Amino acid sequence: MDMFCDRLSCHGKAEECIGLCRALMSALNWLLRCAAFYAEKVKETLEQAAAESQLKMCLERLGKMLSSTKNRALIHIAKLEETSSWSAVEQSLLKLGENLNSLGNSPLRSRADDCISLIKSIPTMLSVHSEQLNKTGFPTVHAVVLLEGTMNLTGETQPLVEQLMMVKRMQRIPSPLFVLEIWKACFVGLIESPEGTEELKWTAFTFLKTMDADHSKSPEGLLGVLGHMLSGKSLDLLLAAAAATGKLKSFARKFIKLNEFTKQINGEGPKGAPVRALLFDISFLMLCHVAQTYGSEVILSESSPAGEVPFFETWMLTCMPEEGKILNPDHPCFRPDSTKVESLVALLNNSSEMKLVQMKWHEACLSISAAILEILNAWENGVLTFESIQKITDNIKGKVCSMAVCAVAWLVAHVRMLGLDEREKSLQMIRQLATPLYGENTLQFYNERVVIMSSILEHMCADVLQQTATQIKFPSMGMDTIPYWNLLPPKKPIKEVLTSVFTKVLEKGWVDSHSIHIFDTLLHMGGVYWFCNNLVKDYISLFPLDDTQPSKLMRLLSSNEEDSNILSSPTDRSMSSSLSASQLHTVSMRDPLNRVLANLFLLISSILGAKTAGTHTQFVQWFMEECVDCLEQGSRGSILQFMPFTMVSELVKVSTMSSPKIVLAITDLSLPLGRRVAAKAIAAL
C-alpha cells in the first residue's frame, strides 16, 4: 500500500476506472475494520503493545490514502456508484469510533480522529473549497453596497441580497469577512456623504435597510422617527426612514390623496380657503421633493382607472424637469384652455394679491406656463415694464409656492430652446420667481415652504444654469446645498473624464461615492450605449487580446438545425452528437436560452479540442472557473448540464482545471455515465 496509495492512476477504459474506485473503497473499508479490531485489542493487557503497533500501521496507511484529494474524489464516485458498500464503510467507521474510547488522549487517538474526519468529509467534499483565502478586502462587495445605498435606496432588498450572495460564492468570501465588508461599505458611505439629505439617506440605509429588511417587526424605530417630524430636518429624516423600510411609495400616496382632496371647493368660505391652499401647496412641494430625491417612479401609482390619473402624476410626467429628461415647451400640456389662461393673466396683472376663495389651484398650476409665455412676450415687446413683471411674480409666489415651481418648470424648458442672446429676460424671470417675498400678508409656514421651494428650483435649474453659465443665488436658510453637483470639468471631453475616473478607481482599489456620482452623471450625459461601450473598451484595454476571434460570437446564436456541422471542431468532427447531461435529463430544447447554452458549450468543446492554445482557451478556462465558483454549495449548476461529457477529458488538460474537485463539480454524478466520465478523468490525473 505504501507503494501505490498516494500515486494511483488508470489510463484504461471508463469501466476499469470505476473498478479502481470500487477497489479503493473496499481497501478503505478493510483498513477501517483492521483499525477497529486492533483498537479493541488495545484493551487487553497482554496484547496491548502488539495491538498498538498494528493500529499505528493501519492509521498511517489510512492517513496516507485519505490525504490525497484524488483518492477521496474516487471514493466519492464509488460511494455514489455502490451505496451498499458505503453503508458498510459507515458501519466500520462507527465501530472504530466506539473502540477508540479506550485510547484516551494518546497520539493514536488524535491520528484516528483525523482519519475519521476526512472520511466524514467525503460526501460533502464538493461544498468545501480547499483554496486558502489570501485576501481580506473585497471591493466588489463594497461597490455593490455603495451603488445600492447611493442610487437605489428605495429598491427591494431581496435583489440586493441575491447579488451579494452571488458575489460571496464567486469570490469564496467567508461569512464573517462578508458581513464585515458590508458594514465597512455602509460606514464608508456614511462618512463620505455630505451633511444633509445624503447623510440621512445613508443613515437610514445602514441602520434600517441593512440590519432588518422587514421593518414591521420593529415598528418602534419608525415611530421614533415620526415623533421628530416637526423639528429640524424632519421631512428628510422621515423620507429616508420610509425609503429604507420600503414604505416610501405608500407614504407618497398619502400626499397624492391629500393633494387630490384640495380639489373640493364646494361651499368654501374665507376661513377654509387659506387652509385648502396650504394643504395643496405643502403636499405639492413635498411630492416634488420626494420625486427629485428618490426618483419619480416612487410617485407613480401602479394602476389607475381610466380618466382618474391624479393631478400631480400628470404634471410630473409631462411638465417637471428631471435629469436626462428634455421637455418641449410647446407640448400640449403647457397649452391648456385659452379662456382659463386669459383669466389667470388678468388676475396676476390686475390684482394686488392672489385670491384664495374658490380658487382651483390645480387649474392654475396647469395654466401658469401659458400665462408666463403671454407675460414674457408682453415684456419682450415693451407692453409690460420690469415693475409690472415684479408685481406679477410677487403674485405668483406670494401665497402658494407651487405656482412658482410650475412657472419655473416651463421656463427651464423654454430657455433650452433659445439662443444665447434670447435668454436674458427668461433667466431674469426665473431669478425673480426664486427670490422669496418677505411681507406680512403671506400665508402660514411661508419660510418653511420657501426652503423646500428653493431646493426644488435649484434642482430644476441646475442643468440650464450650467449650460448658460448663469448664476442664480437661491435662498439657503436652513437648506443644504445640492451634493455632488457640477462634478464634470467644464472643458474636458466626457470620454477623458470616464477614463480618468475609471483609472483612479482601479488605483484606489474600490469605488467611492464621488466616483459613483460622476459615473451616474456621465451615464445620463452620454447615454447607455456610449457609457457601456467606452467602459468595456477601458476594461478590455487592461488585458490585451491577440486573438479575439469575433466570428465565434455568431455561433452563440441558435443555428440552423438542418446544418449539423455548423458547430464542427477544427478537425471537421461534428460536435452536434456529443452527449450531455441535459439530453439524458430530457431538458427541453424549445427554450431559446437552452439552445444558446447548448451551442455555447459545443463551441467551447471545439475550442478545447483544437491543437492551438491562446486567448480563446484562456477565456474557456476563466469561464469554466466562474461556472464552478457560482455553483450552489453541494449541488450542480443548471448551466453545466449542457456541457458535453467529452469536454471533461479536455478540461483536465488545462493546468488550473486539473483538480479532482473541479472534475466532480462539472460532471453530473447522479448519472452512471457522468460517474464513469469523472472516474476516467480523475484516475488519469
534-570 pLDDT tens trace? 988 888 887 665 444 444 444 444 444 444 443 443 3
Question: Where do the domains of the chain lie?
Answer: 14-127, 153-246, 272-468, 494-540, 550-683
- H or E segment to which residue 113 belongs: helix 107-121
**Distance between alpha carbon 268 and the CA centroid of its chain, in Å?**
51
d(CA 411, CA 430): 7
> What pLDDT is recorded for position 269?
76
Contact 513, 150 (CB under 8 A): yes
> What pLDDT is recorded for position 233?
60
> What pLDDT is recorded for position 439?
65
pTM of the predicted model over 0.85: no
Residue 598, CA atoms < 13 Å, CB-side half-sphere:
22
Residue 251, CA atoms < 13 Å, CB-side half-sphere:
23
Average pLDDT, the chain: 75
> What pLDDT is recorded for position 581?
64
> What pLDDT is recorded for position 127?
52
- H or E segment to which residue 203 belongs: helix 197-204
> What pLDDT is recorded for position 634?
42
Cell numbers at 391, concatenated: 408685481
Query: Which ranges of the chain have pLDDT less than 70?
Result: 125-137, 151-155, 190, 192-234, 237-238, 245, 302-307, 324, 331-335, 351-353, 439-441, 466-491, 543-587, 611, 629-638, 654-657
Residue 291: closest CA among 263, 264, 319, 328: 319
Contacts 24+ apart (CB under 8 A), 213-221: 213/157, 213/158, 213/161, 213/246, 215/244, 215/245, 215/246, 215/247
Residues with Cβ within 8 Å of 600's Cβ and at least 6 positions away in sequence, in order, are: 556, 642
Any idea which residue has 466524514 for its cell? Answer: 120
> What pLDDT is recorded for position 603?
85
H helix count then E strand count, the chain: 29, 0
- What residues pair up with 644 in beta bridges, in sequence order? 580
> What pLDDT is recorded for position 358?
79
Q: Which amino acid is at 168?
A: K
Contact 192, 512 (CB under 8 A): yes
> What pLDDT is recorded for position 467?
63
